[in-house]
Chain A
Amino acid sequence: MSKTAANPHGRFLLDHGSSLPLILPATLLVLVFLVGPFGYMTYTAMTDLSFANPDQKGAFIGFDNFRQLMRNDPIFWGSFWLTVRFVLAAVCIEFVLGFAIALLIWHFIKRQRLLTTLLLVPMMLAPVAVGLIWRLLLQGDFGMVTYYLHKLGLLSKASAIFSTPSLVMPAIIAIDVWQWTPFVTLIILAGLMSLPKSPFEAATIDGAGPWRQFTDIMLPLLRPIIALVLLLRGIDAFKEFDKVFIMTGGGPGTVSELLSIYAYRVNFKNWNLGYGATVAFMVYLVVLILCSVFYKAVYWKSANIGGR
């Protein structure tokens, strides 16, 4: 007796090629936890819903919130460009540093496992914990880092990092670099370890120097890994909230008011949920555009290199 005759359901699932029952649980999860909330957020963005104002019960107002956001909300745009600058600065520094450290480890260190474990430490900390730790370290009166900065003459004794507007964003970027450079290092290191040796050996025989090998062989081969790292870090940095909220609350003034902090204020300080959903939608839209641009730029080139 054949297997399919004994089990008609098995025949239905496998032989007839229907994958629906197999993907149904995952599809349901995506629908319930991603598509559903996203749809609700999109709808809310087109209402005037407010938990504070009793006159705003959630009436449908079309694209009014979007119009207000695009044309008449300088704070949103200030936060938006601040976030873009933060993402560019933090991710670029993390990438360059992370790549350099990964190369050094790959070339010169034999006991890589121990080192990679140590590298994991800042990443393993919850962002709130990182915010609290650095808030204490940089505290103006008794912060340890502030003390040494004063001692070394790198910071005036009449200044404190989080009370000096020009130093706030550089400090936040430095802290983000401290936390996330190890992530870049680990991923790039994994990529380096998986590189085939033959192209490098052939290039050496042909007389290519280390720089030529780096630019013409290593970088193209690592392109998908690099794309992945930049994409993940870019998305994560764009959503940055916890650390900055704990350390500065978006201040002084609007110096560190990233887009996520602005969204939090609109939603959970002012309870203007319709408008807050519009801000959140815009954050989503930017991340979506970032993803598709990166994906197309990098994977399309990788595919071309692969000869397809």
Chain B
Amino acid sequence: MLRQSSKFSLLSTALLTTATSFALMGSAYAWSLEEAAAPYKGVTIRTIGEALPPLEAMSKLAPEFEQRTGIKVEIEMYEHSEAVSKVMLDLNSKRGRYDFIIQPHRELGKFVTNGHVQPLGDFLQSAELRDPEFKPDEQLYQRLWKEISWYNDQVYGFPFTALSMYMWYRSDLLGDEKEKEGFKAKYGYDLAPAKNWDQYRDIAEWFTRPDQNLYGTALQGKRHEALWYEWLNFLYSFGGDMLEAKSGSECGPVIVNSPQAIAATEYYKSLKAFSPPDTLNYFWDDVMALMQQGTVAQLIMWNDATYAVAVDESASTVVGKMGFDTVPEGEGGTIAQAEGWTYLIPTSSKNKEAAYLFIQWMMDYDQQLRQHLNGGATARPDVYASDEVQKLPYSKASMASNEVAKPKPTLPQSSEITDILVRELSSYLADEKSAKEALDRSAEEISALLGSCAPMKYPVQ
């Protein structure tokens, strides 16, 4: 008995000692931002991105990081195209002006294949830099993260914004009893947020009343990237695509002139009749302003622009009158186009470690929540699940769109593909050519641009 008792006490002591030593070791090696950042105290890191609410929200959070680490953060904000071209010039000059960059993910292939950006595998394995609480493979929407920030199975960054487009509509107009009566009398079914494209066009037609300064929709028809982004929703929804490929970094046969793509493009143009007269001069800022002024009944728009219309009372006249839903369903199902701006670290950066620490800190739940509530578009499902985010009127539509978001090419030639399609779509909208001619021409140019990996599946006669 005694022997048993002494054995037990020995075992207990051993266990206690082991537990204590592990606890001590744990506390000695507990990761903290302050300690990780200590070697970089006094360093200034500079970044660049698009001047929109998510970046403005980041600039408000940055002083907190500066206070904790002593690393100063400088943020340059520019209009979309300017933010992209400035980065290209800096990366090619190898000046290293930017320690990390925030760029649209369609640029990723160009950066990776030219060796401009740093793979982040080493940072994620570094005991000094990696916060053990940061688990991107558990905490992020995996499909979006892989699409936005990975290239050829290697991680290059983390999503700054996980963007998609969905339907915005005026819930007050669609819920109005008089409107409902009139609509049912004319179209034979109940007025409700559009579930398919036929309904979408009926609603657009019904609410087009130029004498009341009200229009059924607003197309982003300017010769600008906005046109291409908007059209992609119609293309995907009608069952079309640009390339036959499984991921953005994969090349494949060109199918941009498929019958589905032509049908989508013709349908898209048919909505021009229900859009304000200056629709060929609009891009995202213009249609957002129209919605804020209450002159449009419904449109397809970005999730990161929603805050300024649905929540910001200082900028919008329709707060409380807005509803949101996924893009109407077509032959291709319910679908949205995936886009995202991603944090990347240039190989020419002089402060890669400090930049990584800031990005990692920004990806933390607290920062993601605060950024999202101030107009961001997080890639963390747990942020979407929070009560505060759920209260935002657009959260459900945003989450649903994230689930069905479809990738687009991120190949090195993706900018040229975009430029070709913007030009041809704009030509079609301007009545310079038919939808088939515009898409055939696009297919020929894209195929020639990509070479042997991208034959034309629908050869031009």
The stretch among A4-12, A83-91, A155-163, A280-288 that forms the contact with chain B is: A155-163
Which B residues lie within 8 Å of A270 (CB)?
Answer: 415-416, 419
Q: In the complex, are the beta carbons of B114 and A51 less than 8 A apart? A: yes
Interface of chain B: mostly helix, strand, loop or mixed: helix
Of A54, A75, A252, A255, the contact of B113 (CB 8 Å cutoff): A54
Q: Is the CB of A253 within 8 A of B223?
A: yes
Chain B: minimal CB distance from A67 (Å): 16
* B277 near A140: Cβ-Cβ < 8 Å: yes
Q: Shortest Cβ distance from A44 into chain B, in angstroms?
A: 13
Which residues of A220-255 are within 8 A (CB) of B?
248-255
B210 at the interface (CB under 8 A from A): yes
With A51-B92, A249-B223, A251-B223 in contact, do A269 and B278 touch (Cβ < 8 Å)? no
Q: Which residues of B contact A54 (CB under 8 A)?
A: 113-115, 412
CA distance A75 to B222 in the complex (A): 19
A265 lies within 8 A of B426 (CB): no
CB A104 to nearest CB in B, in angstroms, measures 37
* Closest chain B CB from A101 CB (angstroms): 32
Say whether A252 contacts B429, CB under 8 Å: yes
A122 within 8 A of B: no
A-B contact pairs, 22 of them (CB 8 A): A51-B92, A52-B416, A53-B413, A54-B114, A140-B277, A157-B210, A160-B276, A163-B221, A163-B278, A163-B279, A165-B430, A165-B432, A249-B222, A251-B223, A252-B427, A252-B430, A253-B423, A253-B428, A253-B432, A254-B432, A269-B415, A272-B416
Complex Cα gap A270–B429 (Å)? 23
Q: In the complex, what residues of B have CB within 8 A of residue A271's CB?
A: 88, 110, 415
Residues of chain B within 8 A (CB-CB) of A77 are none
User: What residues of chain B lie closer than 8 Å to A206, measured between beta carbons?
Assistant: none
Known: A165-B430, A253-B430, A255-B430. A140 touches B278 (CB 8 A): yes
Is B154's beta carbon under 8 Å from chain A?
no
Interface mask (B104-147 → A, CB under 8 Å = 1, otherwise 0): 00000010011100000000000000000000000000000000
Complex CA gap A165/B224 in Å reads: 16
Identify which of A51, A141, A251, A265 contacts B290 (C-beta below 8 A): A141
Size of interface on B: residues with Cβ below 8 Å to A: 34
Q: Which residue of A lies closest to B115 (CB)?
A: A54
Cα distance, A163 to B426, chains bound together (Å): 11
Residue-by-residue, is B214-232 near A (CB-CB < 8 Å gives 1, otherwise 0)?
0000000111100000000
Q: Would A160 and B278 be within 8 Å (CB), given that A52-B412, A249-B224, A270-B419 are in contact?
A: yes
Which residues of chain A from 100 to 142 have any CB-CB distance to chain B below 8 Å in the complex? Answer: 139-141
With an 8 A cutoff between CB atoms, is A268 at the interface? yes
With contact pairs A52-B110, A54-B113, A252-B429 given, residues A162 and B278 touching in the complex (Cβ less than 8 Å)? yes
How large, as a class, is the contact surface on chain A? 20 to 34
Contact B223 A268 (CB under 8 A): no
- Report how far A255 CA is from B81 CA in the complex, Å: 21
Contact with A along B5-31 (1 / 0, CB 8 A): 000000000000000000000000000
Q: List residues 70-127 of chain B with CB under 8 A from any CB of chain A.
A: 81, 85, 88, 92, 110, 113-115
User: Chain B residue with minimal CB distance to A150?
Assistant: B277
Check A268 against B85 for contact (C-beta < 8 Å).
yes
In the assembled complex, which residues on chain A have CB atoms less than 8 Å from the CB atom of B276? 140-141, 160
Task: Give B113 Cβ to nearest chain A Cβ, in Å.
Answer: 4
In the assembled complex, which residues on chain A have CB atoms less than 8 Å from the CB atom of B270? Answer: none
Residue in B92, B110, B412, B430 whose CB lies within 8 Å of A251 = B430
CA distance A128 to B158 in the complex (A): 36
Complex contacts, B432 vs chain A, CB 8 Å: 165, 253-255
User: Which of chain B's residues have a CB closer than 8 A to the CB of A254?
Assistant: 423, 426-427, 432
Across the interface, name the chain A residue whose C-beta is closest to B277.
A160
CB nearest to A50 among chain B residues:
B412
User: B280 contacts the other chain (Cβ, under 8 Å)?
Assistant: yes
Which A residue sits closest to B85, measured CB to CB?
Answer: A268
* A1 to B163 alpha-carbon distance, docked (Å): 85
When C-beta atoms are compared, the residue in chain A nearest to B218 turns out to be A141
Contacts A52-B110, A248-B223, A251-B430 hold; do A163 and B85 have CB atoms under 8 A apart?
no
Docked CA distance A253–B441 (Å): 13
Q: Looking across the interface, which residue of chain A has its beta carbon closest to that of B280?
A: A163
How many whole Å from B311's CB to the nearest CB in chain A? Answer: 24
- Whether the Cβ atoms of A158 and B430 lie closer than 8 Å is no
Q: A250-B223, A254-B427 are in contact. Are A52 and B85 (CB under 8 A)?
A: no
A252 to B412, CA, bound (A): 27
When distances are taken between beta carbons in the complex, the residues of chain B under 8 Å from A253 are: 223, 423, 426-430, 432
Q: What's the Cα separation between A140 and B222 when bound, in Å?
A: 13
